[in-house]
Amino acid sequence: MPVHCIHDTQPADRWEDAFLSGNGEYGIMVFGHPHRERIIHNHHRCVLPNESLGMRPPAVADRLEHVRDLILAGEREQAQRMFSDGRSMAWTQPFHPGHVLHLDAPVEGPAERYRRITDFTTGEVRVAWSDGERQSVRGAFVSRIDAVAVVEIAGPRVDLAVRLSGELPGRPPEVTFSTSAEAAGNDEAYLAAVGAYPFGPGAAGFAGVTRLVVTGGRLTVDGDAARVEGARRVVLLTRMDRSSTPADLEGLRAPRRTARRLRGVTRSPCARTASSTAAPNSTWACPTATGTSPWPSCSPVPTPRRWTARWSRRCSTPAATCCSAPAGYSRPG
């Protein structure tokens, strides 16, 4: 077990108990269920639009000396009134969750010697368990260098149904989701989840795209889900961002096209390349992000307060970061 870590012997049942990783821009919340994994993906630009867009601070520089005199004289309420332009309180645009990555095994077998670990040295969340003599390991982290969330699953035989969704508690009905999946050869697929805000000038929505790469086994696409059978290794690379116009958002609905627009999820897989020393020093070499984001800021539309109250406390991305595999990391098989 890593020196600097937290661990649990049970998966999380609530999002409050999920283990976190992030890079300051992306954040993931790993529940850690061995057979029904849920990983919530967040982005720091996923904020519900409201009336605060475009607001400028009040022009009060010329009143500074007078306000200071009032404060020194004990006239705090008058100083507060002077140091404003009379506007009412306006809330900032609150964070909201992005989408959920679902990883479902076809059969729920026993999960013995279960461990869910967050390694603070690397920022990786690792889930390990055994099913009789078979050992399975799932690792997840967010790369700062490449701005991509990575999930790797390894085991003697990996059978999974993979899909994205917006199925999160408290999501207001006016924030809608569409999901899709598209095969890209025999060993790759793209999955997309596109969220749309209520209609308003400028803001359109947000999107997440996952590129799925399998080693061994069989990969098929069924509706908006990808199915993996008999693989030795599965890697999932996710990028997210936010759209400014309905035209941009509509263009994000095709997963492969979305992947290209979301800066760097290309056809070259994210490969784990060992250094000239031992495996503990190995690193993840991911595609380098290129180009600029086509997603500017959001427009003012009403903010659903019930979603705000539930999620704004914790859905900004945590600061832990890494682009390296943890010391002593090993995969079975």
DSSP class per residue in 85-141: -SPPP-PPPPB---EEEEEE-SS----EEEEEEEETTTTEEEEEEEETTEEEEEEEE
The helix (run of H) or strand (run of E) holding residue 27 is strand 26-30
pLDDT of residue 249: 53
**What is d(CA 184, CA 214) in angstroms, rounded to the nearest whole number?**
11
- The pLDDT value recorded for residue 283 is 27
pLDDT at 257: 54
pTM: 0.70
Q: Which pLDDT belongs to residue 18? A: 95
Choose among 296, 93, 301, 298: nearest CA to 200.
301
Structure-token match 């999107």, residue found: 207
The pairing of beta strand 5-8 with beta strand 19-22: unpaired
Q: How far apart are CA 269 and CA 264, in angstroms?
A: 11
pLDDT of residue 307: 37
**What's the confidence (pLDDT) of residue 132?**
78
User: Which residue type is seen at 34?
Assistant: P
Out of 3.40.50.460, 3.10.150.10, 3.40.10.10, 2.70.98.50, which CATH number does the structure's domain 5-51+90-311 have? 2.70.98.50
Domain boundaries, the chain: 5-51+90-311, 56-89
Contacts of 320 (CB under 8 A, 6+ apart): 20, 21, 22, 23, 118, 120, 123
Contacts of 201 (CB under 8 A, 6+ apart): 299, 300
Q: Report the distance separating Cα 135 and Cα 129, nearest Å.
A: 6
Residue type, 32: G
Token pair in block for residue 131: 């099913």
Q: Residue 301: its pLDDT value, please?
A: 29
Q: Is 312 helix (H, G, I), strand (E, B) or coil?
A: coil
- Distance, in Å, from the CA atom of 294 to the CA atom of 262, rounded to the nearest integer, reads 8
**Amino acid 265: pLDDT:** 36
pLDDT tens per residue across all 333 residues of the chain:
677 888 899 999 999 999 999 999 999 999 999 999 999 999 998 888 777 767 788 888 999 999 999 999 999 999 988 888 777 777 778 888 999 999 999 887 778 899 999 999 889 999 999 887 788 899 999 988 888 899 999 988 899 999 999 988 888 888 888 899 999 888 999 999 988 888 664 567 888 989 999 999 999 999 999 999 999 999 999 988 887 666 555 555 555 555 554 434 333 333 332 222 222 222 222 222 222 222 222 222 233 333 333 333 322 333 332 223 333 333 333
Provide the pLDDT for residue 284: 28
CA atoms within 13 A on the CB side of 240: 31
User: pLDDT value at position 248?
Assistant: 58
